[in-house]
Amino acid sequence: MTTRFFARSFAALVLASAIVAAVPARAADVRTEIGAFMAQSARDWNAGNLAAFMRGYENSPATLYVGAKTIFHGYAAIRGHYASHYGKTMGVLSFSDLAVRSLGPEYAVAVAHWHLAMTDGSHPTGIFSLVLHRSATGWHIVVDHSP
């Protein structure tokens, strides 16, 4: 019995060590994945393709967009906000200072600055925080706080 106890304890220790060793690599993977997600989001926006840009949001009535003065509840309301606010003059979108924190295997938080270069010469800018959910189809925004 003592040998079996030590064998199980050793196996558990080896497994725990492997899990702990994998955590930093997994966090780096999440940062890389979210960085690629954000780059694709900017490419879709810059192509003037709102439908493709919106694929970055989870298509759910529970998805939230928190603006400076309004909260939009649900994918359809968020899409409507973007369509009415930007219409055909979406401008050129870029991000800087992206920071990502993994909240486990299925969730992450991303914070960055956004920059738009509009056709009228204006350059609106701001910050955002996103809560992202990983599904079978990839990462999707479930909460967008862009005041």
pLDDT-wise least confident of 9-13, 37-41, 68-72, 76-80: 9-13
pLDDT digits (tens, 9 = 90+) for 121-137: 999 999 999 999 999 99
Strand order across the 107-117 sheet: 71-73, 64-66, 138-145, 125-135, 107-117, 92-102
Total H helices, total E strands in the chain: 3, 6
From 129, 134, 133, select the one nearest 144 (Cα to Cα).
Answer: 129
Q: What tokens were used for 111?
A: 């914070």
Give the tens place of pLDDT for each residue, 16-64. 333 333 344 477 799 999 999 999 999 999 999 999 999 999 999 999 9
Domains of the chain: 28-145 (3.10.450.50)
